[in-house]
A = this chain, B = another copy of it.
């Protein structure tokens, strides 16, 4: 049986949250990766200029081995959709790994999957995890049993490489890393609140794009 991987999409997701893990996990041998949504069709990402066509419903992939839940402003609406929460709970009951990137962890929380667990999210949403009984944790990738949460947006690439090593082995994961030439050389070093200038952190904290409830 191939490894069955489902990436959940919804309107106003953040594109890279989903596409980072997609680009890594699609390199796994003996796997089937599908993009699913409560309502298949065009899902527009948060900026609006990029739209992804989703062809599979949640019912098409009821029991994936790996669940990947991206975030983005649209997670707030998705969190109110019982079809999404029911699917997450049922799929998690039999999954090998249940994972999230960015504010996707709030969706896992709303489904009741983070109760009493350490978890992470986009740095602006860490506090919002508490309402779901989770313990916010400032690490890039947090593994709690089979629940794996990753920090903001680009962290899904790191998370998925770790996951690839668990699902296959380290040689496969390293081959995928070389295939996507993931040898990061950011021109600046402001990718976390600990590293960015305080005024940049404050600028983004005040940015309504990052409001989560």
**Residues of A participating in the B interface, judged by any CB pair closer than 8 Å:** 14-16, 19-20, 22-23, 26, 33-35, 42, 47, 49-53, 55, 102, 122-123, 140-141, 151-155, 157-158, 161-162, 165, 170-171, 173-175, 177-188, 190-193, 195-197, 200-201, 203-204, 207, 209-210
* Chain multiplicity (copies): 2
Cα A24 to Cα B72 in complex, Å, equals: 15
- For A14, A122, A123, A153, which residue has the most chain B Cβ atoms within 10 angstroms? A153
Q: Are B179 and A204 in contact (CB under 8 A)?
A: yes
Whole-angstrom distance from the CB of A109 to the nearest CB of chain B? 18
Q: Which residues on B sit within 8 Å (CB–CB) of A140?
A: 183, 185
Could you jot down 11 A-B contacts, CB within 8 Å? A16-B20, A26-B49, A33-B49, A51-B52, A152-B179, A153-B181, A154-B182, A155-B185, A174-B188, A179-B210, A181-B192
The residue that A22 contacts in the complex, of B50, B53, B162, B209, with Cβ under 8 A, is B50
Contact call B178/A183, Cβ cutoff below 8 A: no
With beta carbons under 8 angstroms apart, the residue of B123, B158, B165, B181 that contacts A184 is B158
Cα of A35 to Cα of B48 in the assembled complex, Å: 10
Contact check, A162 vs B184: say whether CB atoms are below 8 A apart.
no
A47 and B33 contact, Cβ closer than 8 Å, known pairs A184-B158, A186-B158, A186-B161: yes
Partner of A123, one of B22, B154, B181: B181
Beta-carbon contact of B181 and A191 below 8 Å: yes
Q: Which residues of B contact A51 (CB under 8 A)?
A: 52-53, 55
